[in-house]
Amino acid sequence: MKYAVIDIGSNTVRLAVYLTDRDNFSPVFSQKYTIGLAGYVTDGFLQPEGIRKACDTLLQCRSLIALFDGIAETYVFATASLRNVQNTQEAVDQIFMVTGFSVDVLSGQAEAYLDYYGVLHEAPLENGLLFDIGGGSTEIVTFAHDGPGLIESLPIGSLNLAQAYVEKIFPKQKEKESMLGKIHKTFRKRKLHRLPAFPHLCGIGGTARTLLALVQAQQDLPESQRVITLAQIRTLEKALWKRDTDARNLLLQNCPDRLFPIYPGLLILDALLDLTECESVYVSKYGVREGYLRRKLNQNQNQKTEHSLH
């Protein structure tokens, strides 16, 4: 069977279609829409224009899904894009009235756990730290062989930091220092400065994938390479923070849709790298969407089992 999953994020909306076989699934289609919902938030409220933007995008997703035969179910969820606004219910109700989609708004803890649960589908994780630097929040999960430990969702992301502190594309030194101050203050508030060393991190989500693409392009690495070293990350950062024509061209050629949020995202990553004494980062193809689908499939299977017992 096929399932469609739509992820409404602060920067992008992503539609993914999966082919399932019992407990296993594989992606067969993916479409990304960059709509920057965080840019439509004023005084904590998602403005009507932002809600209309979300509705228009979801209607486009509905049209694409209709082209596939045998879609068993479509699941729609939102993360910080709707979680961190004052009028969440209003937005969810309007989206349902216009599109017919019922949006599941995930808590920060749920999002972080589903990040971990999704990565597990790709490869078993023995121990380390997983991070997902999104547009409106950053999720952090520590894990060992027996499962997750610390699960945190921080209210700082690449896009909301950019909107709060950056006037143009390239942050000025003063803007950079202000963002770093906010990041470190948030880390201390959640006691993340007490994290033990984790030499190997696992990154998921848009910022991690963009980082990987930039390192691959700048340092001529094969696309199959998904582990990048601290030295490779530092080489990229040194080039980007020159904020010159070469930096601009590298970004325009590889991540034109992330020009605005990439620098704040790198600052959040830097703070994590320093805290954990990181040596390398593995960038996973999977994450919250796959974790969400895994949970839904397991729930469906449990319901079938309970029904058969009765």
According to the model, what pLDDT value does residue 310 have?
56
For residue 98 the two structure tokens come to 């216009």
Domains defined along the chain, listed by start:
2-105 (3.30.420.40), 123-283 (3.30.420.150)
CB 11 within 8 A of CB 158: yes
According to the model, what pLDDT value does residue 245 have?
94
Exposed, middle or buried: residue 196 (CB in 10 Å: 0-12, 13-18, 19+)? exposed
Per-residue pLDDT tens digits of the chain, which is 310 residues long: 999 999 999 999 999 999 998 768 899 999 999 999 999 999 999 999 999 999 999 999 999 999 999 999 999 999 999 999 999 999 999 999 999 999 999 999 999 999 999 998 777 677 899 999 999 999 999 998 888 999 999 999 999 999 999 998 899 999 999 999 999 999 999 999 899 999 999 999 999 999 999 999 999 999 999 999 999 999 999 999 999 999 999 999 999 988 889 999 999 999 999 999 999 999 999 999 999 999 999 888 777 666 665 5
Torsion of CA 300, 90, 206, 299, to 10 degrees: -10
For residue 68 the two structure tokens come to 């596939």
First-to-last C-alpha distance (Å) of the chain:
25
The whole-angstrom separation of Cα 199 and Cα 129 is 9
